[in-house]
Amino acid sequence: MSNLSARLNETLRFLQEQGIEKPDAAIILGSGLDQTLQYLAIEKLIPYAEIPHFPISTVSFHKGQLLWGQIGTRKVLVMQGRFHYYEGYSLQEIGFPVRVMQRLGARWLIISNAAGGIRSDLRKGDLVLIEDHINLLPDNPLRGPHDSSFGERFPDMSRPYHPTFQQLMRETAARLGIALKTGVYAAVMGPSLETRAEYRYLRTIGADMVGMSTVPEVIVANQVKLPCTAISVITDECDPDHLQPVSVEEILAVAHAADRHLSRLIASSLHQWVELTS
């Protein structure tokens, strides 16, 4: 058994002992985007520090706890606070919780993040369904010795975001009257934001938005065949020819304001999924 596999088993055992089993969906909440919790009937709340082998979020505005409960009739496991490469974690560590979610039996992974809008029509507060991504992080979470029990050595990435769940999100947004755009997300290392020249470069290579997360989790989800969808909240407009200085406080404030719609969309999508599958 690989090292990773042994750690995974210990984490699983701990969570199962807490009564966490077979979540319908798992959710990873992005920076300043925790209003989805208002829809969650919480049964268990576990700080990451108590979970064996779980990394601990070091960013002050990230809470760092796992929540277990129900949204409507769906059992949901929520990560409030995620791990970033810029904090010093390896991508393998960042992907670890996704392996845990899949092994617990999750059938859908929903990810949110805050991102800079590069495409000219993207405005602060917009919600964008990620249809594809570009990994500009200097690593891959699957690098290293391969354990075939996790899935393939060379996972296919032709459809990293699950078409059926994307459709479900689009239909739910339309039903709620929430505008949901679509775009390509580029993951960068951070923590410094981009220069004008870097935004120009990102636009040239086909990125519509840019952020510092999500892609490692999505790569792991694809390896373990956990269907995933991800939504970006546009927190700053990154037009290289008119770039305004931006602070993390502003980014969080915009994220907070848009989260009212995002959290409604996530909760309603879970509800719609119930109707589809029951």
Binding interface with ligand HPA (CB under 6 A): 114-116, 188, 193-194, 210-212, 235-236, 238, 251
Q: Which residue of the chain is nearest ligand HPA when measured via CB? A: 116
Rounded to a whole number of angstroms, the minimum distance from the CB of residue 40 to ligand HPA is 25
The nearer residue to ligand HPA, 178 or 248, going by C-beta atoms, is 248
Rounded to a whole number of angstroms, the minimum distance from the CB of residue 248 to ligand HPA is 8
3-state secondary structure the chain: CCHHHHHHHHHHHHHHHCCCCCCCEEEEECCCCCHHHHHCEEEEEEEHHHCCCCCCCCCCCCCCEEEEEEECCEEEEEEECCCCHHHCCCHHHHHHHHHHHHHHCCCEEEEEEEEEECCCCCCCCCEEEEEEEEECCCCCCCCCCCCHHHCCCCCCCCCCCCHHHHHHHHHHHHHHCCCEEEEEEEECCCCCCCCHHHHHHHHHCCCCEEECCCHHHHHHHHHCCCCEEEEEEEEEECCHHHCCCCCHHHHHHHHHHHHHHHHHHHHHHHHHHHHHHC
Rounded to a whole number of angstroms, the minimum distance from the CB of residue 191 to ligand HPA is 9
Rounded to a whole number of angstroms, the minimum distance from the CB of residue 134 to ligand HPA is 13
Rounded to a whole number of angstroms, the minimum distance from the CB of residue 87 to ligand HPA is 14
The nearer residue to ligand HPA, 31 or 102, going by C-beta atoms, is 31
